[in-house]
Structure 1
Amino acid sequence: MPSEYAELMNAIFRDRPWDASPEAHVHDGDGDARARRLPRTPKGVTVGEVDLNGLGGECLTKRGNAGWVLYVHGGGYMSGSARERREVCQYIADVHGRNVMSCNYRLAPEHLWPAQIDDTLTAWEGVLARGIDPADVIVAGESAGGTLALSLAFVLKGRGMAQPGGIMALSPSVTQAESLPSHSANVATDYLLRDAVEKGALRMVYGGPACTEGFLRDPVVSPLYGDFSGLPPVFLSASDTECLVDDARVLYQRLREAGHPAALDIQHGCPHAFQMFPRMPEARDALAAGFAFFARQARA
């Protein structure tokens, strides 16, 4: 059974009005985040602002930590911020022994693709400019942020740039070119995304009707269709009741068929992108599985 916290979040999303129109997502920077109560910072964790080659963000550190996470927030490329993901980032810094840099990026509809992946690359370059070994960095993110983490690896590969030590893609979307079974089958149980995936809502960010089949199958847009050779180990996580669960399952199958190091964790009955709520036991379990996977890869 889902935890009480998972059921609570499902109820909140189920009862919340949903407007999928682009106008509903026009943002004012961190306005939504300012209106929310920020979580209490765990003892020993320090939170500060960071500049990643001109991109704003947050840096969360704890004495004794080793290694880094570059965290890329989700929000359908249309909402979210580093500040809004402080809870999960400070949890990682506190519990999983890695310092975290969490980056902002330009949002749609004001800024369409490729602004989001361009800014993710800028953030990556900003991390490396601090003298951090790329092998010591895991690039992580939930929802669209998980997609950007995967997309970044293909951008880096195409440019011959250093790869991170791992990719943690939490409830990512991995294809814009085709519909997977869960995109429609789980509409009734995914109270956050509802029918947005089935209707191809993200295509608006990529230019809408102007998108060609070839563009939609570019692995930077749809990581499912990429050549995974040369990419770092990949950890995938999803809930069995969310619309994007088959994205994680199918990508994991492709990775395994290619002999690529990968792991998949499926939790039960949780909302989309549940991993960003570490008060939820399932989120803690998923994150623990991910960091345990990368620890095993480091020892291999």
Structure 2
Amino acid sequence: MKRSIAYYITILVIKVKGLKKTFSKNPVDYKKLRTDDVPISKNSYFRKNSYMRTFTELQTTISEVKPKDESNKLLIFIHGGAFVSGPSQHHWDAVEKISKQTPYTIWLCDYPKAPEHKISEISANIDHIYSKALEKFNPDSITIIGDSVGGTLAIALTQRLIQKNSMLPYRLILISPVMDATLSNPEIDEIDRLDPMLSKKGVLSAKQMCAENNNLNDVSISPINGNFEQFPKTLLFLAEYDITYPDQRLLEKKLEESNVAYDTIVGEGMPHIWPLLPIMKEAKSAFKIIVNVLNQ
């Protein structure tokens, strides 16, 4: 597939920033990754054109962005960052685009991070956020979007809700979700050489920082080991040049076997979380799909 000039510029920027190098170390330098964190956006759009407030639930700071007109729809945005960092500027850029083009209230959730906090504590925060959402919104009006480990947390939350026979969100939108914290799929090593952003060594290190008692098979951190029966509608964005791609293909099989209504968009030659990356024509096209789905 012919790629845009902006694609090559984006890949060059990723390489110059040294993300691959950072994720090639064990332990991963999570403090360095956090230098790109943007807890609260300074973008004038949120001050001038939307109603934004922040509030705290447990140890999570939620940035709520409301549209001008009253909205009965909620998008819970669970950001990625290998469990150790985030949100980043690309998450805020995504929130701005969604706010401009859809009628959703958006909750961007800055949850507690590893290594200071383990997966059980992070999961408790995600569960609590969803329970608070149900106090204000009908579950049929709630969509959850998550990129990378944000997708991990969204899937694991849904699995727990089903176990408890609780009300489910209407839809999941998953962008490069990390499905297996063990990274033991043999196909990963081959893709590691192609992935411009992530490397197995550092990503595995981040998962170990987050895991409870080093249990990387726990469904809370490796939802591929859980059940997918009764899952809500799901939209998947996968990337071929992404070390998490082989396990996402296993996710597809599980969704199909469980008769879940899902759609998959595969980015040929794309890197991790490509729909959220700036500049790229391919990312803009993918993000347009997200907006269209939200507006259905």
Choose between structure 1 and 2 for higher RCO, CA contacts under 8 A separated by at least 6 residues. Answer: 2
Q: TM-score, normalised by structure 2?
A: 0.84
The Cα shift of 1:289 comes to 3.0
Letter in 2 for 1:242: D
Return the alpha-carbon distance in structure 2 between the equivalents of residues 88 and 63 of structure 1.
18
- Per the alignment, residue 126 of structure 1 pairs with 132
Q: TM-score, normalised by structure 1?
A: 0.83
Return the alpha-carbon distance in structure 1 between the equivalents of residues 88 and 16 of structure 2.
26
Task: Note the 1:1-300 alignment, pairs <5 A.
Answer: 1-17=2-18, 18-19=21-22, 20-22=25-27, 24-26=29-31, 32-33=36-37, 38-39=42-43, 41=45, 44-52=49-57, 55-64=60-69, 67-81=73-87, 85-129=91-135, 131-177=136-182, 179-196=184-201, 201-207=206-212, 210-211=214-215, 216=217, 218-277=218-277, 279-290=279-290, 292=292
Any idea what the Cα deviations from partners look like across 1:51-88, whole Å, max 9, x if unmatched? Answer: 34562121122234552210001000000037762111
Bigger helix fraction: 2
Return the alpha-carbon distance in structure 2 between the equivalents of residues 140 and 48 of structure 1.
20
Letter in 1 for 2:284: R
Return the alpha-carbon distance in structure 1 between the equivalents of residues 240 and 255 of structure 2.
19
Aligned partner of residue 229 in structure 2, secondary structure: coil
Return the alpha-carbon distance in structure 2 between the equivalents of residues 67 and 103 of structure 1.
16
Aligned residues: 289
Return the alpha-carbon distance in structure 2 between the equivalents of residues 198 and 103 of structure 1.
21
Aligned partner of residue 85 in structure 2, secondary structure: coil
Aligned partner of residue 29 in structure 2, secondary structure: helix
Identify the range of structure 1 (34-43 vs 255-264) with the bigger mean alpha-carbon deviation.
34-43
Return the alpha-carbon distance in structure 2 between the equivalents of residues 153 and 62 of structure 1.
26
Letter in 1 for 2:127: L
Runs of 5+ unmatched residues, structure 2: none
CA RMSD of aligned residues (A): 3.1
Any idea what the Cα deviations from partners look like across 1:97-125, whole Å, max 9, x if unmatched? Answer: 32211111110111122222121112212
